[in-house]
Amino acid sequence: MSGILAPQVHALTDTYTPDRGDPAYVVTHYDLDLDYKVSTNRLGGRAVLDVTVLEDVRRLVIDLVGLRVLKVAVGGTPAKWTHRGPRVVVTPPVPLPRGTRTSVAITYAGTPGPARTPWGEVGWEELTEGALVAAQPNGAPTWFPCNDHPRHKATYRIAFESDSPYDVVASGTLVETRVRGSRTRRVFEQQVPMATYLATVHVGRYVRRTLPSAEVPVTVLLPATHERPVMHDLARLPEMTSLFGTLFGPYPFADYTVVVTADDLEIPLEAHALATFGPNWLDGRRRHERLVAHELAHQWFGNSLTPEAWSDIWLNEGFACYAEWLWAEHADGVPAATSASTHWALLSRLPQDLVLGDPGPDLMFDDRVYKRGALTLHALRLEVGDTAFFGLLRDWTATHRHGSVSTDDLVDLVDVHVRRSHPRSRARADAAAARARDLLEQWLWGTDLPRLEPAAGAS
């Protein structure tokens, strides 16, 4: 039976990343005090995790990859621990009953680097001059101890000290800067709950620029030598934020930052209220503007609304891909229907073995997830009409703002909106809801590629 016809229950440990996360507790706040030396790529830190225990436990399992634990305390009292592979097993001085709120403090150090995963190397990445974090899906433990699961959201305080010639940006609002000799300490606070994989830090030699006339404040950090092409390619970001705010609802954060590294990067990547690009993606000809739109859209879909499990990855990527088509329609006059037809034809020539609602870990970042996800949304738009469709999107982002979402949540909301569009006829409402659920059943849980067919009377 599919995830639409019956409630889908996710395992407490994500089946796509089974070596991450401990379902026995949640972290409500991370306090990170970090010291980084650029020349040697040396990171030292102390992390204090405010935790709430969800079941009676004698131990807590914390994720940390490639760094060495020096000492651990629970509730201010030294605790025993072992560290094997990516897991730190902490034994509190006394067992912790369900409902206990306490702190876990871990002092650690080492030479950070990316984690090797089935999806390539993720997490901390040393650059020619500086470093960055690109943690999706399970690279967060390469720079701080955490309970690494997409459903776990927390607030953060990140104090980061590094060499003064380098600029630093981290997740959150910069609230303090202090220079001591050749070192600068910056403190960032993130009051909006954030998933571990969306936390980031960037270290590099950057200049800061702002984009004018933006309803959402936009800051760009970039190498001075790339300023002209980068600023040209990002010039329409204010217009994008305005369009997406109209279509998707208010921008979910206080501001938006784009970091452009000096090194070329394989792909751009989103983080909380931030996106990262290599200069190879912003070359002054707007050849990759769709990716600028894609990363911006993730602030709604992925960052504010974060998947409950990695099997729901299409809720990130399908929505962001569809945002590309909506931007092309607005800015360049390419109808979303044209983009949909083009990509439907391309997908029709590829293997039909992907289940969008649960693609499996091997295929979670397959391009078919992105494109079939976008096509699912376009098919739904054709079925219910523009008024209901965009009302649904705005309700989706408002209802689950800064929360976690599943495919079933979306299906349920579609049902509500479709029924609402036929207030005077129960029979018509039932029939319309059945058609919408059948359509989503085919796109989300079938492997064959359904046809794009507008509903009669949709507007």
Output the domain CATH number for residue 49: 2.60.40.1730
Same domain flag for 415 and 439: yes
pLDDT at 426: 86
Q: Are residues 382 and 438 in the same domain?
A: yes
CATH number at residue 371: 1.10.390.10
What does the pLDDT average to over 446-454? 91
Q: Does the residue 7 lie in any domain?
A: no
* pLDDT band for position 212 (cuts 50, 70, 90): confident
Q: 183-193: per-residue pLDDT in tens?
A: 999 999 999 99
- CB-based contact 294:320 (threshold 8 Å): yes
159 and 257 together in one domain: no
In a domain, 450, yes or no: no
The answer to whether residue 14 is domain-embedded is: no
Residues 218, 199, single domain; the answer is: no
Do 238 and 272 share a domain, yes or no?
A: yes
Out of 282, 299, 316, pick the residue that ends a domain.
299
Residues 134 and 88 in one domain: yes
Q: Clarify whether residues 41 and 181 are in a common domain.
A: yes
Tokens of 238: 């204010």
Of 170, 204, 238, the one marking the end of a domain is: 204
Give the domain extent around 429. 307-445
> Is the pLDDT at 225 greater than 70, yes or no?
yes
pLDDT in tens, 418-428: 988 887 788 88
Nearest-angstrom CA–CA distance, 201 and 271: 10
Co-location of 212 and 332 in the same domain: no
Instruction: Please indicate, yes or no, if residue 8 is contained in any of the structural domains.
Output: no
Q: In the chain, how many domains are there?
A: 3
On the question of pLDDT at 11 being above 60, the answer is no
Name residue, tokens 């980031």.
200
Give residue-wise pLDDT tens across range 362-393: 999 999 999 999 999 999 999 999 999 999 99
- Given 173, 204, 235, which residue is the final one in a domain? 204
Q: Write the CATH number for 216.
A: 3.30.2010.30
pLDDT tens, position by position, 131-181: 999 999 999 999 999 999 999 999 999 999 999 999 999 999 999 999 999
**Domain for residue 10, yes or no?**
no
Per-residue confidence at 12, pLDDT binned at 50, 70, 90? low
Q: Is there a single domain that holds both residue 43 and residue 141?
A: yes
Q: Is the pLDDT of residue 327 over 60?
A: yes
Residue 141 domain-assigned (yes or no): yes
pTM of the entire predicted model: 0.94
Same domain, 262 and 135: no
| Mean pLDDT for all residues in the chain | 94
Whether 272 is in a domain gets the answer yes
Same domain, 291 and 339: no
Band of residue 453 on the pLDDT scale cut at 50, 70, 90:
confident
For residue 15, tell me if it sits in a domain. Answer: no
Q: Are residues 135 and 223 in the same domain?
A: no
